[in-house]
Copies of this chain bind each other. A is one copy, B any other.
Amino acid sequence: VIGADKVAEIVRVNGVEDATISYLDRGLHFGDGLFETIACRQGAPRFLPLHLERLALGCARLRFPAPDLQALGAEIQMLAQGVDRAIIKAILTRGVAVARGYGISGTEKATHITIRYPWPSEDPSAMHQGVQVGTLTLRLSESPLLAGLKHCNRLEQILARAECSERSLVEGILFSTSGKLVSGTMSNLFLVHGSAIRTPLLDRCGVTGVMRRVVMREAARAGIPVQECDLSEADLRNADELFLTNARIGIWPVRSLDERPMTPGPMTRHLQEVMTPLLEDSRVERA
């Protein structure tokens, strides 16, 4: 596989090492799949039950053949073993097409792919000093049936990342076609307003990130009011602090929005402290 050695360390396709993908796989033809990007530390996948739970939700919503998520979880755990840091991507497609066209026959057998990637090199300043973000011109389309899912229809995110690259932004903030605040291109977004945190309701677009969920849970446990709601550009501009979350990065403060400096503030710092033990050692995770 061209380039594969530079990118991925191990792959299993339907449990078989180094297998290839059928040219009839519906994942390839239609993006008819779901995925999870799982951060692994000290030999264990972080927040694995939450990743599998989102995958199960996606399977139900997209009417996938019921996958054996327990076996998939065991495979992910096995791939994570003995490695200090790694990223495991699990892809689940509806499987090889049994006929031409979009239609589902109901007899498809899901394809599951697990790929272990090295943990990328990181700029430690992102976590400490924060990152520069900008609002993007691209607007995300609204599709309630697909909202929240980490599905494999990602052309919008690809074009949004291209806009970030052109503008030298670490992350870009996205609005929906109806003007609602949604997320970053590869992260969820939180706004701090006074002593409360708010994050966009993702009922029309966006991905309900696992780290977003953990941060909401931990904030609530720490007595911080958490609101999941429709948010506008004005809400974004009026926030006291902004921070980004995803499965790998944990929490990144925002240090500038469209070139306007912002100071990573006390709420972001507090939540980073609350999260640190959960991120450093998978065994600390509570049920």
Contact = CB atoms under 8 A, between A and B. Distances in A.
A56 interface: no
Interface string A151-164: 11111111111101
A29 B153 CA distance: 8
Total copies of the chain: 2
Contacts of A262: none
B87 A100 contact: yes
A231 interface: no
A263 interface: no
A243 B156 CA distance: 32
A96 B31 contact: no
Contacts of A162: 63, 103-104
Given A153-B31, A155-B146, A165 B103 contact: yes
A109 interface: yes
Interface stretch (A112-120, A190-198, A265-273): A112-120
A97 B7 CA distance: 8
A174 to B, nearest CB: 12
Interface size class of A (residues with CB under 8 A): 35 or more
Contacts of A185: 102
Contacts of A91: 28-29
A100 B25 CA distance: 21
Interface string A1-25: 1111011100101000001111111
A131 B7 CA distance: 49
A99 interface: yes
A21 B25 contact: yes
A177 interface: yes
B100 A4 contact: no
Interface string A74-98: 0000000000000101010100111
Contacts of A142: 141-142, 177
A30 B28 contact: no
Contacts of A120: 100
A224 interface: no
A111 B22 CA distance: 14
Given A13-B23, A24-B7, A25-B21, A30 B155 contact: yes
Contact of A165 (B104, B144, B158): B104
Nearest to A151: B155
Given A4-B24, A100-B89, A159 B186 contact: no
